[in-house]
Amino acid sequence: MKKTTYIAILFILICFFACKSDKDKAANQTIDVIASDNNKKEDIKISNDGEQVQKMLDLLGVDTNDAKNVETLNALLGNGDASEIAYQILGKHSVEKNTLTQSNLNTLEKMLQQYPELESSGGFVVNEATVDIDFSKLAEQLKELDKEELSQLLAVLPTSGSNAGKEKNKNPFEGTFIEESLVGTSFTYYATSKGRSLYEKIKHATPEEAEQMLAKHYGVKPEEIKLLKRIEKQTKIKHEKQAKKLLNPIYKNAVEEALNNPSTSNQFKSLIKKRKTKQELKAKQFIRYSARAREAFYKLNPGWHAEKNDEVGNTYVDSRNQYIYLPLGKLSFADEVVEFDPGNGGLHPKGSLGEPNMPNIDFTGGDPKVCNIGLEGVLTLQFTNNAITDVNGPDLYVFEMGKIEPTILELSKDGSQWIKVGKIEGGTAMVDIADFVNKGETFTYVRLTDLNTKSGVPGADVDAIAAIGGAIRLNLDAAVLFEFGKYELKPEAEAALTELIPKIEEIGKGTIVVEGHTDNVGNNAANKTLSQKRAESVQQLLKTLIKDKVNNFKWESKGYGESQPVVPNDTDENRQKNRRVEILVLPS
């Protein structure tokens, strides 16, 4: 979208902010654009409510020192009402849904529910694949939105900073070996001014022209450029298992076949060979650092499972190039967002789940793959198929972008009773819970509260949270195992438990705790007895199924009755969820 359109959107929103706060004042509000004598710097001065409008300028990221911006502003203001002219310029636009984040779409849905006139006026039309916007129909409706709502709406407007605009100007070689070698990455290539200049030129060239320029640059045949384009850009290695695959990198069939084809140019073959060699060297370097991290863990925890045959464990690297070995690998990370209070500026809570993404993203201005807790924001996460437990050394690792920002960390077994572990701050994101818990205790909830420390993005920027030692937690619906009110196993229970055996055997050795839980129907004492007998029944069958490996584990069974519900016992569906058996596997 042209810059003129972007500035026009700015004027519409400035006008609406003024209307929202004081319609009478807005009628007399003027915007004066004053250029300096040397025409290199211009200032925008607003006679009324300048602070509010300046916030809008900052929100949209408009450069008020750009002469072209000022020229556009003068042109708009010199020809009548700015908002009317802006509407004439904007007209109708369509934004593809796949260019928007799920957070954007959820925000838009809520806004349309709160202000149905936005949709009924024809200004916003949400289709299966697109969001259609007709600015000429939005004037009166947008006046009803406050500043926060307008800022959220900006995420789906087709401004020059939107995904739709970026897609239009996307370089056709983005994400390929071509970008990697010309623009540079810290992983395989380093940028040169010549390479950056060529990358910009091919962005605006025809496909044929681009192939010719690139063929001349690399010294290969033009048709071989198509093969180079099929090689994906190599980003920074995220974990050891990825590094091991790069020890012998295999490209797409067409590229590999070309390497064995006598008619392929020697320069093309040399180019690919050098690239594979660089990948291999970087992979070996990562694996060396990974081995040190693994050795450090096992030095503190000798005899821990899989020390000699580690197929589950994995080593990850954070944004400060710290290597963290996790013996449970991808099972180590938080699984669900329980609650999120964004505080001031918080975004993307689901960015904190699963394995870390940070080595592969540009974090400038935020990213959906990373949770920005927000100033004084609160993020509560749950580990559903694993648990946090105390091991020798650190027990939790918070993968945080950039600077470690002061954050309060708390743990809970049930999401209601919390233990304050302390403050994460300084140069480390490792947390040792030994002083706050009993040996063998497990926790499945983590709560982080930001302490109002502002950096590039408001609040702590969390990419992932991992249990360093951890335990595997397996859940079974009691209805699958037992008849209502009974503790004898149903015939189909054996099949359900057999499915769990491979996961248990991955651990190798340790302690298996079988826990029985009920709802709150009936007598509390009777429920506790029933849950204990159910736990014992499951434990007995598990021992039979594990067979010769049964002595690799210590065994415990516990009946908690109705004391540890996972959801309130207020509906039949919730009570069913609380009637369960949990199997906790603690490595040793």
Segment 260-272, tens digit of pLDDT: 999 999 999 999 9
Closest by CA to 150, choosing from 141, 160, 137, is: 141
**193-238 pLDDT tens trace:** 888 899 999 988 999 999 999 999 999 999 999 999 999 888 789 9
Least confident of 17-26, 366-375, 541-550: 17-26
Counting residues of the chain whose pLDDT is more than 70, the rounded percentage is: 69
Name residues whose C-beta falls within 8 Å of residue 451's C-beta, 6 or more positions apart in sequence: 376, 405, 406, 407, 408, 423
**489-508 pLDDT tens trace:** 999 999 999 988 887 877 77
Q: What is the pLDDT of residue 90?
A: 53
Return left, alpha or beta for 134; rule: phi > 0 is left, psi -120 to 50 is alpha, else beta.
beta
Least confident of 21-30, 86-95, 286-295, 558-567: 21-30
Mean pLDDT (the chain, rounded):
77
What is the rounded average pLDDT of the residues 14-33?
43
State the Cα–Cα distance between residues 123 and 130, nearest whole angstrom. 14
- Given a contact cutoff of 8 angstroms between Cβ atoms, the answer to whether 327 and 466 are in contact is no
In terms of C-beta density within 10 A (0-12 exposed, 13-18 middle, 19 or more buried), how is residue 533 classed? Answer: middle
Q: What is the pLDDT of residue 75?
A: 46
Q: Say whether pLDDT at 23 is over 70.
A: no
Q: What is the pLDDT of residue 67?
A: 54
- Give domain 475-587's CATH number out of 3.40.630.10, 3.20.20.70, 3.40.190.10, 3.30.1330.60: 3.30.1330.60
Closest by CA to 377, choosing from 416, 317, 428, 337, is: 337
Least confident of 45-54, 183-192, 565-574: 45-54
State the Cα–Cα distance between residues 384 and 386, nearest whole angstrom. 6
33 band by pLDDT with thresholds 50, 70 and 90: very low
Candidate ranges 26-30, 48-52, 123-127, 311-315; pick with highest mean pLDDT: 311-315
Q: Where in the chain is the domain with CATH 3.30.1330.60?
A: 475-587
427 vs 32, 400, 430, CA distance in Å? 47, 11, 9
- Residue that wins the pLDDT comparison between 514 and 439: 514
Which pTM does this prediction carry? 0.63
What is the rounded average pLDDT of the residues 175-184?
88
What is the rounded average pLDDT of the residues 30-38?
38
**411-464 pLDDT tens trace:** 998 888 999 998 876 556 888 998 998 877 889 999 999 887 654 445 678 899
In this structure, the number of other CB atoms found within 10 A of the CB of residue 485 comes to 12
Q: Say whether pLDDT at 320 is over 50.
A: yes
What is the rounded average pLDDT of the residues 90-105?
66
Q: What is the pLDDT of residue 108?
A: 74
Closest by CA to 325, choosing from 310, 313, 311, 307, is: 313
Q: Say whether pLDDT at 256 is over 60.
A: yes
Q: What is the pLDDT of residue 189?
A: 57
Return left, alpha or beta for 75; rule: phi > 0 is left, psi -120 to 50 is alpha, else beta.
alpha
State the Cα–Cα distance between residues 465 and 353, nearest whole angstrom. 7
539 band by pLDDT with thresholds 50, 70 and 90: very high
Q: What is the pLDDT of residue 60?
A: 45
Q: What is the pLDDT of residue 305?
A: 57
| CATH placement of domain 333-469 | 2.60.120
What is the rounded average pLDDT of the residues 2-9?
46
Say which amino acid occupies 304: W
Q: What is the pLDDT of residue 259?
A: 94
Classify residue 485 by its DSSP letter: T
Q: What is the pLDDT of residue 53?
A: 42
Q: Say whether pLDDT at 16 is over 50.
A: no
Q: What is the pLDDT of residue 419?
A: 94
**CA-based Rg of the chain, rounded to a whole angstrom?**
30
380 band by pLDDT with thresholds 50, 70 and 90: very high
533 band by pLDDT with thresholds 50, 70 and 90: very high
- Residue that wins the pLDDT comparison between 24 and 578: 578
Q: Where in the chain is the domain with CATH 2.60.120?
A: 333-469
What crossing angle do the helices spanning 102-114 and 147-154 adopt, rounded to 10°?
A: 140
In terms of C-beta density within 10 A (0-12 exposed, 13-18 middle, 19 or more buried), how is residue 155 classed? Answer: middle
Q: What is the pLDDT of residue 6?
A: 46
587 band by pLDDT with thresholds 50, 70 and 90: confident
In this structure, the number of other CB atoms found within 10 A of the CB of residue 339 comes to 13
